[in-house]
Homo-oligomer: A and B are copies of this chain.
Amino acid sequence: MKKFNEKLSKFCKEKNNRLCLGLDVDNSKLKNSSLKYLEDYIVDIIDNTIDLCPIYKVNFAFYERFGSDGFKILEKINSIINGRAISIADAKRGDIGNSSKFYADAIFNFLEFDSITVSPYMGLDSIEPFIQYKDKGIFVLCLTSNKGSEDFQMKISNNKEIYKYVIDMAIKNNYNNNLGLVIGATNKKYLKEIKSLSGNLPWLMPGVGFQGGDLKESISIGEKNGIAIINVSRGILNAGNRTINDIRKATKIYTEQIRAVL
């Protein structure tokens, strides 16, 4: 059984790409807002981009708002991808051990996602149940792409920002080679330092495009000693008239931009 970070690296290298397509489809912007249409649309997006994309990320908020019907779509995502790419459940879970165990069961076993995003606020014991799944990946929120990242993540304790303690925890607990970090591409001036601290942990980088992160810089710094995954959601999903053709074209453009830096 391959460890998650090896699998991630394999997909990225085979497809010569680091693009993570965020399947955060806002159905109210589609010509038909029904969930059946949304599901077919997602099937089409995946099937028409999977030769290029090594990774797909699903933000659970976009599906949970439809309750169990939204969850039914989440249940299908991994059979659509069908082992052709890595999937990330962008669910930002985190609870005491007992409950985190059940979240891990939900995301990894029941929904069959390859990986998850988790929040570190409750500490290591809230993340440990996920780490025990050796072939599954855990991207820990570290320095995020939003303005609120300043509120707690950037607070300095003993000459060191809180998010750097998250890096330490991830490095120390990467015994199953399945931990990664969420590093917002918007944090341009900190990327080099974070790279020097985070060893070979893969980065999941949101914030390129719409939020102002720089693709070229993110890749060139992020790819030192490790994989840097560039997440793009709105930048691709809102392309042109949102036809599958428009989405494929945008995916190709991002792919070419990434390949030019690799």
In the complex, what's the smallest C-beta–C-beta distance from A177 to chain B, in angstroms?
21
Give the most central of A95, A126, A149, A153: most B CB within 10 Å.
Answer: A95
B121 lies within 8 A of A61 (CB): no
Q: Mark A177-214, 1 if CB is under 8 A from B, else 0.
A: 00000000000000000000000000000100000000
A145 interface residue per 8 A CB criterion = yes
A95 lies within 8 A of B61 (CB): yes
Copy number in the complex reads 2
Give the contacting residue for A147; candidates B99, B106, B123, B156; CB below 8 A: B123
Q: Mark A60-88, 1 if CB is under 8 A from B, else 0.
A: 01101111111110110000000000000
A126 touching B152 in the complex, CB below 8 Å, given contacts A65-B105, A100-B61, A103-B64: no
Q: Which residues of B contact A16 (CB under 8 A)?
A: none
Q: Which residues of B contact A72 (CB under 8 A)?
A: 67-68
Closest 9 CB pairs of A and B: A123-B148, A123-B151, A61-B102, A68-B71, A65-B106, A61-B99, A155-B157, A125-B148, A64-B106
Binding site for B on A (CB under 8 A): 24, 59, 61-62, 64-72, 74-75, 90, 92-97, 99-103, 105-106, 109-111, 119-126, 141, 144-153, 155-158, 162, 165-166, 169, 206
